[in-house]
């Protein structure tokens, strides 16, 4: 990243403006987390309803005490093990953390991302950067700078281009504000890795868990209707049309008769599948097809995060959603 661009980005953040930047998960739409007016601009640009909390990104775990009122031992262990990395910790907020960031809750989401551009920006800026994914509310998270520009256009003052994201889906979120750590959103770092590190089981989300917009049923969705189907159903569905009008994401190549369909062959390793997922959904959504058919991934634990995003994409699909 050229120094001049980094300087410009920091000046914009200091002036309360929006800077989109790459992380290892997805691109974030960043604003000075200590400036409620700047954070308000994020909501406007995304078309996101107010009072949804946003994650505060930090340049190092040493900044935690400025944002968290208390750092439970489990949170400390997870931060040591997985930061910088695709893990967000929900902690009791420190006094003075703006309501605009926490959505008025008594907790704050914190993460040190593992991307050289994000870390350079955070360390040069010095403060926390509030950043949700840099997409319109409810839509597919961007994993390239071009996707950010397509989503947000002039609503963002600067887009830092750090190339395609290596993880490709949003961070794992663990709520460490209660008695037992709880998984709020599955991600690249899996539940069993967290449990192995902590030496205790962690809870799944409960009704009393704090609100997390990435956990709404309809999220990460294309505009084109999307169905999750097994391979037989997929082949049945396109039998009479030779796949015309359909965009398909499947694990195997098409049978010879389906020459008309846009057919993307998905990688069969979960990390590769995740890295390409949002790019693939964008491509299918932009292809002009009337229906996106996605072959259901395996149900084994390494696929949990991908399955979660696909289920939400299917639920939130179509122009009226969310």
143 binds ligand TXA (CB under 6 A): no
98 binds ligand TXA (CB under 6 A): no
Q: How far apart are CA 175 and CA 139, in angstroms?
A: 24
- Which residue of 12, 18, 75, 102 would you call a contact of ligand TXA, by CB under 6 A? 102
Query: Considering only residues 19, 38, 54, 234, which one is a binding residue for ligand TXA as defined by CB under 6 A?
Result: 54
Distance of CA 52 to the CA centre of its chain: 14
Minimal distance in Å, beta carbon 141 to Mg ion? 5
Q: Does 293 bind ligand TXA (CB under 6 A)?
A: no
**Cβ at position 306, least distance to ligand TXA in Å:** 14
Q: Which residues from 10-49 bind ligand TXA, rule CB under 6 A?
A: 23, 25-26, 28
- Structure-derived torsion over alpha carbons of residues 272, 276, 277, 281, reported in degrees to the nearest 10: -160
210 binding ligand TXA? (CB under 6 A): yes
Residues 165-184 that bind Mg ion (CB under 5 A): none
Residue in 17, 52, 76, 283 binding ligand TXA, rule: CB under 6 A: 52
Q: Which does 171 bind (CB under 5 to 8 A by kind): Mg ion, ligand TXA, none?
A: ligand TXA
Site string for Mg ion, 108-137 (x = CB under 5 A): -------------------------x----
53: contact with ligand TXA by CB under 6 A: yes
Q: With the C-alpha atoms ordered 103, 73, 123, 186, is the resulting torsion angle positive or negative?
A: negative
Q: Which of 35, 171, 191, 224 binds ligand TXA (CB under 6 A)?
A: 171
Contacting residue, 108, 145, 189, 226, with ligand TXA by CB under 6 A: 108
Nearer to ligand TXA, 82 or 258 (CB): 82
Residue 170 vs 285, nearer CB to ligand TXA: 170
> 199-228: which residues touch Mg ion (CB under 5 A)?
none
Interface residue with ligand TXA among 88, 144, 191, 304 (CB under 6 A) is 88
Give the span between the Cα atoms of 26 and 132, in whole angstroms.
Answer: 9
Q: Which does 53 bind (CB under 5 to 8 A by kind): ligand TXA, Mg ion, none?
A: ligand TXA
Q: H or E segment at 172?
A: strand 172-175
Rounded to whole angstroms, the Cα distance separating 56 from 6 reads: 19
Residues sharing a CB contact under 8 Å with residue 193, sequence separation 6 or more, in sequence order: none
Q: What does the H/E/C string look like for 61-106?
A: HHHHHHHECCCCHHHHHHHHHHCCCCEEEEEEECCCCCHHHHCCCC
Q: Are strands 87-92 and 172-175 parallel, antiparallel or unpaired?
A: parallel
Task: Let me know: does 311 contact 229? Beta carbons within 8 Å.
Answer: no
**Cβ pair 69, 93 in contact under 8 A:** yes
Distance CA 69, CA 38 (A): 23
Number of residues binding to ligand TXA, judged by CB under 6 A = 29
Which partner, ligand TXA, Mg ion, none, binds residue 309 by CB below 5 to 8 Å per kind?
Answer: none
Give the tokens for residue 213.
């917009």
- Spatial separation of the C-alpha atoms in residues 215 and 17, rounded to whole Å: 27
Question: Residue 117 in 3-state DSSP?
Answer: helix
The token duo for 235 is 């082949």
Residues forming the site for ligand TXA (CB under 6 A): 23, 25-26, 28, 52-55, 88, 90, 102, 105, 107-109, 111, 113, 131-133, 170-171, 173, 210-215
Residues forming the site for Mg ion (CB under 5 A): 133
């Amino acid at each position: 990243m050229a120094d001049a661009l980094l300087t410009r980005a920091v000046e914009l953040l200091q002036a309360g403006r929006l800077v989109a930047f790459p992380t290892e998960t997805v691109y974030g739409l960043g604003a000075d987390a200590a400036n409620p007016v700047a954070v308000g601009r994020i909501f406007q640009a995304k078309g996101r309803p107010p009072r949804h909390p946003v994650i505060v990104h930090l340049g190092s775990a040493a900044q935690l005490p400025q944002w968290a009122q208390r750092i439970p031992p489990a949170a400390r262990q997870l931060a040591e093990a997985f930061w910088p990395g695709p893990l967000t910790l929900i902690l009791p907020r420190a006094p003075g953390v703006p309501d605009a960031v926490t959505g008025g809750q008594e907790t704050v989401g914190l993460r040190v991302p593992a991307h050289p551009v994000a870390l350079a920006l955070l360390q040069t800026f010095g403060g926390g950067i509030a950043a949700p994914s840099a997409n319109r509310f409810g839509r597919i998270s961007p994993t390239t700078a071009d996707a950010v520009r397509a989503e947000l256009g002039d609503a963002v003052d600067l887009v830092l281009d750090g190339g395609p994201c290596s993880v490709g889906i949003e961070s794992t979120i663990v709520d460490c504000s209660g008695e037992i750590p709880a998984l709020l959103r599955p991600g690249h770092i899996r539940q069993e890795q967290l449990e192995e590190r902590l030496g205790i089981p962690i809870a799944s989300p409960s009704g009393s868990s704090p609100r997390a917009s990435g956990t709404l049923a309809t999220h990460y969705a294309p505009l084109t209707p999307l169905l999750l189907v097994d391979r037989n159903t997929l082949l049945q569905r396109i039998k009479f049309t030779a796949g015309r009008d359909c965009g398909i994401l499947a694990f195997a190549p098409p049978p010879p008769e389906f020459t008309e369909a846009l057919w993307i062959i998905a990688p069969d390793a979960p990390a590769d599948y995740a890295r390409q997922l949002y790019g693939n959904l964008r491509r299918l959504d932009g292809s002009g097809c009337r229906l996106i058919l996605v072959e259901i991934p395996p149900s084994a634990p390494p696929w949990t995060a991908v399955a979660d995003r696909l289920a939400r994409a299917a639920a939130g699909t179509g122009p009226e959603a969310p």
